[in-house]
Structure 1
Amino acid sequence: MKTSIDSSGACDLERHVFSGATMATRYSAQCFAPANLDLASLHTDLDRAVKSVDDEMSNWKDASDLTRLNQAAPGHWLPISGNLARVLIRGIEIGHETGNAFNVGVGDAVDAWGFGPGTPDRTACANRVAPRPLRPADEWLEVDANGRRARKLASVTLDLCGIAKGFAVDELGRVMDRHGIGNWLVGIDGEMRAKGMKPLNAMWAVAIERPNSSHREAMAVLELTDVAIATSGDYRHWQEHEGTRIHHTMDPCTGAPLHGGVASVTVLARTCMDADAYATALMVLGEDRGMQFARDKQLDALFVMREGEGLRTKGTGCFAAS
């Protein structure tokens, strides 16, 4: 795995920057720490953390815990990692909270519409689809956290793309904590988590991306500390189907991809796993129901809607004035 490391002086601490390949993209990590920080050990542990999550939760890897669970017969208990158990349980909880707007069992729909690992011919797959509502995960999935095992009660394919990346970001943060570092920013794509401050009491600056599929540009910049941020949007993984733009996020209530309406949702939360999953759920709920859920849950959420050739924003919590 290729990893780049850079460091530069800053006050009485040094800034250290790390990056490496993971999940078909790259992770990034930066921190301010004393000059005697063991850089080699830290970057090894960061690499190991994201690799472990990918090896456990990827449905693109034949040997992952998730793939083995997907291939297991209904009713059969399968040993899984403690991390996967935690993610599955939290996914079930958020699915329950959001009225099934978040569902870890969307894998069959993702594959059918050409966004999964085994569906290279997207048009042919989409034309064969017969969308159907998905049962809530707590009706067909049992997780024994203490025994580190899980079983499906029906033939369902799990997909953790709406939560695993956020969990991997949290794992990067836990690595920083284990190394005694109190000021850091870690992330994978648009999922980020910050702790502490930069020198001179400066907060971490994080950009919110404008939902544009042709190029990348910042829509806004937030200053954060001790919080995680995640964005779900329609502008990275999408396709045209019968003249309609559809994207990879599935609506569990229909079993079909989302289209139109909300372009992106950004959420702040205590953990990046939660921010990731809630951002996905709010995309599914849409502007009106999503805004109401965010208010009821007291979430900081920014909704970006497409209107003709322009964009309109609406927010809750710290984004309410947006």
Structure 2
Amino acid sequence: MSRTSIEWLRDARLKDCRTSGATMGTRYTARFVVPEQAHVQAIVADLDAAVTAVDAQMSNWKADSDLSRLNRAAPDDWVPVSANLATVLLRSIEIGRETGNAFNIGVGGLVGAWGFGPAGMSGPQGSPTGSRACEPLDPLLEIDLPGRRVRKHGRVALDLCGIAKGFGVDELARVLARHGIGAWLVGIDGEMRVRGGKPDGSPWAIALEAPEDERRAAMGVIELDDASIATSGDYRHWREIDGARISHTMDPRTGAPLRGAVASVTVIAPTCADADAYATALMVLGAQAGRDHARERGLDALFVTREGTGFRAAGTGFFDGA
């Protein structure tokens, strides 16, 4: 169920609107400024419909989603999918190829084997045996974008947790753009996208969360205009296996969860889908290789690593000198 509030702005004949609702196991939020004659409830309904559609297309937790149907399909069978899912699959393969398989949406089997999939804690309680590195998806997944269909050339379980929320944020942005709205902030969980500025003319301020398990605290604030930001970290979703703390992020190159010193990676990009996917890929690459790749690609990325009982931040681009 969505919650919406409207505040009239003094002497401006504008409405400052805020709405939120459930999606993808968390909540989406949107704040936007519209003229007094705007039909706010129609805009809110379109926002809710957009993220509901993405969830129905890309969820591993919904048995009737496009993604779940694709995962159940036999190899070499064409599966009709939405244009959104085909687009996200194609972009995922591109980023996987560019990052040397550090981003691979074929980790669904690993995610489930390590107890982070839909089965959750009812899954395995110890370290799984026989976990293998994930093959690059170039030869395994064929995408017919104009025909809106996909087929697998082999058995692979797809998981879009590293890009779907970001794409959902982009869909929220597209709704507001279609309504001709020029100032907004939208987000799903910690993935955010902004355009324009606040009603008072100041830029949107985004808090960067400290990678701490037991509390939510900001380690800094940045101001953005017409950009997206996403963070991948090991401090929210984890479990203990065989006495060791295991991150939910899988390294497709090894077939095992990450156990490195990187606590979080934040990326700023034009689209939130890219920011989301690159944050995951750079986390997998690690502090040094990740920064090297970010510099090579011109990415704005902030790496937070653990040092003893504290943290150290280092970044590229916008975050250089952090």
> Is contact 1:82–1:145 with CA below 8 Å preserved after alignment?
yes
Aligned to 1:9: 8
- Match of 2:131, SS state, is coil
Separation (CA, whole Å) in 1 of partners of 2:39 and 2:204: 23
TM superposition score normalised by structure 2? 0.97
- Show structure 1 runs of 5+ residues with no match: none
CA distances 1:108-141 after superposition (whole Å, capped 9, x unpaired): 00000000012433552x4333221110011200
- Match of 1:313, SS state, is strand
CA distances 1:239-264 after superposition (whole Å, capped 9, x unpaired): 12233221111000011111131000
Of stretches 44-53 and 239-248 in structure 1, the one that deviates more from structure 2 is: 239-248
Aligned to 1:314: 314
Aligned to 2:290: 290
Separation (CA, whole Å) in 1 of partners of 2:142 and 2:208: 36
Aligned to 1:71: 72
- Show structure 2 runs of 5+ residues with no match: none
Q: CA deviation at 1:162?
A: 0.1
CA distances 1:289-316 after superposition (whole Å, capped 9, x unpaired): 0000000001000000011110000000
Aligned to 1:25: 26
TM superposition score normalised by structure 1? 0.97
Q: CA deviation at 1:214?
A: 0.8
1:272 aligns with 2:272: yes
1:36 aligns with 2:49: no
- Match of 1:187, SS state, is strand
What pairs up with 1:122-201 in 2 under 5 angstroms?
A: 122-124=123-125, 126-201=126-201
Q: Letter of the aligned partner of 2:82 in structure 1?
A: S
> Is contact 1:244–1:259 with CA below 8 Å preserved after alignment?
no
Q: Letter of the aligned partner of 1:88 in structure 2?
A: L
Q: Letter of the aligned partner of 1:74 in structure 2?
A: P
Separation (CA, whole Å) in 2 of partners of 1:24 and 1:185: 20
> Is contact 1:265–1:301 with CA below 8 Å preserved after alignment?
yes
- Match of 1:27, SS state, is strand
Aligned to 2:53: 52
Q: Letter of the aligned partner of 2:112 in structure 1?
A: D
> Is contact 2:127–2:242 with CA below 8 Å preserved after alignment?
no
RMSD: 1.1
> Is contact 1:205–1:223 with CA below 8 Å preserved after alignment?
yes
Separation (CA, whole Å) in 2 of partners of 1:48 and 1:81: 15
Aligned to 1:251: 251
Q: CA deviation at 1:218?
A: 0.8
Count of aligned residue pairs for this structure pair: 320
1:116 aligns with 2:111: no
> Is contact 2:113–2:124 with CA below 8 Å preserved after alignment?
no
Separation (CA, whole Å) in 2 of partners of 1:293 and 1:281: 10
- Match of 2:286, SS state, is helix
Runs of 4+ aligned residues of structure 1 deviating over 6 Å after TM superposition are none
CA shift in 2, pair 1:308/1:318, >3 Å: same
Separation (CA, whole Å) in 1 of partners of 2:309 and 2:122: 30
> Is contact 1:107–1:116 with CA below 8 Å preserved after alignment?
yes
Separation (CA, whole Å) in 1 of partners of 2:247 and 2:37: 46
